Structure 1
Amino acid sequence: MKFAGIWPAMVTPMTEQQDISIPAIEQLTNELISYGVHGLFALGTNGEFHMLTKEEKRTVAKTIVRAAAGRVPVMAGTGGNSTREVIELSKEMESIGVDALSVITPFFVPPGPEELSVHYESIADAVGVPVILYNIPSKTGMSISADTAKRLAKHPNIAGIKDSSGDFDLIKAYIDVSQGEDFAVFAGTDSLILQTLQAGGHGAVAATANVLPDHVLAIYDGFLAKDARKSEEAQASLQALRDTFSLKAIPSALKKAVELKGIPAGPPRLPVTEASGAELEAIKHMMQGYQK
């Protein structure tokens, strides 16, 4: 499997009662595939993985795998704090039929570099599908160093990293230390997609692609075609959407934008609440700007 291109970091649609909405997940899956995305990334930060039970995670993964029906690969987040817990869920996801696993670093009590390396190597040894590292220090309190990435890139079942640090120098370091390895570096910060590609990265796991898949794909397609204007304009076009993300806690604004586009993403899970009032009006105004 080729780890490259644009993989939407899918939201997890829910009903007004805060239950998983299987019909809306199917609708979102089909909608994204119709645009030509290269893969689907489920159960990440914007997918509210930290709010879901293990059974709900299985339901989400089963629904997306079934709806995708082999048209694109599906990557599912299985990260957690204990190595045992991650291996158990990873094996279940493999049996469901996901094509790759995204494993966020442990959080709350950050392990040291050696402990982190052993954590990832143990997971990769235990499953038969590729593992993608997930670095998001603002949420976990720790970061995967370039040295650790260099070690892990040599593991035959660790296929890449998604970096959401917002630190381009770190992304560049991941690219540099993994030269010669079969190791993909994905931008997880949507403002850095083009910059990552230009530095030798492989693509992006992009939250904005839930709402603007055509814009995000245009960054990648323009880059491949050496069309600087197309890729730069597409990259710049994401900013208005990204600016709304700070209005409320993740993924409230994003889910509302998806809903305004016609897919019933529903509310985020409590304690995060739906956008309303001035926040909602700002999101509506932003979406109207994309319709001009």
Structure 2
Amino acid sequence: MPITFTGIFAACITPFTSDGAEVDLDGISAQVEHMISNGVHGLVPGGSTGEFTSLTVAERKAGNRAYIQAANGRVPVVAGTGALSTAETIELSRDAEEAGADALMIVPPFYDTPSFEEIVVHYRAVSKVVDIPIMFYNIPDATGLDVSAEQFGRLGREAGVACYKDTSGDFSKFTSVYLDQSEDIQAINGCDTLTFAALALGSNAGVWGAASFVPRLCTDLYRALAIDTDMPRARELWEKIHPICVFLESHSYACGVKTGVQLVGLPAGPTRGPILPLAAEHREELRGLLNAAGLETVA
């Protein structure tokens, strides 16, 4: 059986200084306190929401280490360590493990689109040199890699992968993995607009960018659906949260989450190029959605 992750894991931003030149380590500490104090069950820095493709290797290591240090064992930290080569993936993974990461989130190499057999070898190579669980980051729109339900089971059996974060939007396949491959790999939702459906299905966990700026709403939904099985309460919450999720998936995701973080009064800094800031009207649209959900926003 794979290791089971439980609860809402926030897909974390990488705060930058105001000029975007450096990672804002104090901003990471503020972000961690906000999320943990509002009930988030785990943190996932260094992924797409964290703009990992715009970071140097040194910045990626520093960002993961800062999140691990700020969490200080209060919640698990799943550090993003995927890279274009096996060697760099191993370098980042070893560093995160040494820093105290509880698990690793590894996106498959996303330029050459390796075959599935090459993917198995890639993840097996990492799993042989680390002793913490590996989460496969399934994001086929970015990687070009389409993994079948049966192949997800193989990743668990043959490549040392404990679970996978699904950002494909293919809920039918996600359901097949959940129902038919759970002995080998844990299916974790990573698509915001499918959070309600995945939790209602019975999935134990979700990785959710919105939890970076509306963590209490996200964890309240988890409690209502996954713990209390209070469907009326869950529907009430989802009515508030769903428009925010639709907004995030309709714009540059990292920029949308970072804007949300800014609107609730936390340091975030700009996005790095080529990602542009949200247009003023879209920023105000997100503010309106947050206000409608009962959250106060700042100028």
TM-score surpassing 0.5?
yes
2:62 to 59, 62, 75: 59
Q: Which amino acid aligns with 1:178?
A: Q
Partner residue, 2:194: 192
TM norm structure 1? 0.94
**Cα deviation, residue 25, structure 1:** 0.6
Does the aligned pair in 2 maintain the 1:193–1:219 contact within 8 Å? no
**Aligned partners of 1:267 and 1:143: how far apart in 2?**
32
Which region of structure 1 is more displaced relative to structure 2, 273-282 or 45-54? 273-282
List aligned pairs for 1:1-292, cutoff 5 A. 2-18=4-20, 19-155=22-158, 157-181=160-184, 183-223=185-225, 224-245=227-248, 248-291=251-294
Deviation, 1:128, is 0.9
SS in 2 for 1:275: coil
Q: Counterparts of 1:52 and 1:33 in 2: how far apart (Å)?
A: 25
TM-score normalised per structure 2: 0.92
SS of 1:220's equivalent in the other structure is helix
Query: 2:238, 2:290 → 1: CA distance?
Result: 17
User: Secondary structure at 1:251's aligned position in 2?
Assistant: helix
Question: 1:191, 1:238 within 8 Å by CA — same for their partners in 2?
Answer: no
Larger mean Cα displacement after TM superposition, 240-249 or 274-283: 240-249
Percent identical: 32
Task: Assess if the C-alpha contact under 8 Å between 1:247 and 1:279 holds in 2.
Answer: no
Segment drifting more, 8-17 vs 268-277: 268-277
Contact 2:149–2:181 (Cα < 8 Å) also in 1: no
Of the structure 1 ranges 58-67 and 142-151, higher mean CA displacement relative to structure 2 is found in: 142-151
**Higher mean C-alpha displacement, 10-19 vs 278-287:** 278-287
The structural deviation recorded for 1:248 is: 4.1
For 2:38 and 2:249, how far apart are their aligned partners in 1? 27
* Number of aligned residue pairs: 291
Report 1 or 2 for greater relative contact order, CA contacts < 8 Å, sequence distance ≥ 6. 2
Q: Secondary structure at the match of 1:154?
A: helix
Query: How far off is 1:275 after superposition?
Result: 2.0
Measured after TM superposition, the shift of residue 116 of structure 1 is 1.2
Q: In the TM superposition, what whole-angstrom CA distance separates every residue of 1:39-62 from its partner, at most 9, and x where no partner exists? A: 101111111111111111111111
Moved more, 218-227 or 40-49: 218-227
Give 1:41's aligned amino acid: V
For 1:42 and 1:86, locate their aligned partners in 2 and report how far apart those are by CA, in whole Å.
Answer: 15
1:277 CA drift (Å): 2.5
Q: Give the 3-state SS of the residue equivalent to 1:29 in structure 2.
A: helix
**Structure 1 position 157, deviation (Å):** 4.0
The alpha-carbon deviation at position 155 of structure 1 amounts to 4.9
Offset, 1:247: 5.9
* Matched residue SS, 1:126: coil
SS in 2 for 1:31: helix
CA distance in 2 between counterparts of 1:143 and 1:245 reads 23
Contact 1:162 1:185 in 2 (8 A): yes
Displacement of 1:13 in angstroms is: 0.9
Residue 61 of structure 2 aligns to which amino acid in structure 1?
R
**Alpha-carbon distance, 1:117 to partner:** 1.4
| DSSP 3-state at the match of 1:127 | coil
| Contact persistence 1:10–1:46 (CA under 8 A) | yes
Q: Which runs of 5+ in 1 are unaligned?
A: none
Residues 195-204 or 65-74, more deviating? 195-204
Structure 1 contact 117–148 (Cα < 8 Å) conserved: no
Range moving further from structure 2, 27-36 or 151-160 = 151-160
Aligned to 2:41, the other structure's residue is in SS state coil
Relative to structure 1, the CA distance from residue 276 to residue 180 in structure 2 (aligned partners, 3 Å threshold; closer, same or farther) is closer
Amino acid at match of 2:36: I
Cα 1:267–1:111 shift into 2, 3 Å: same
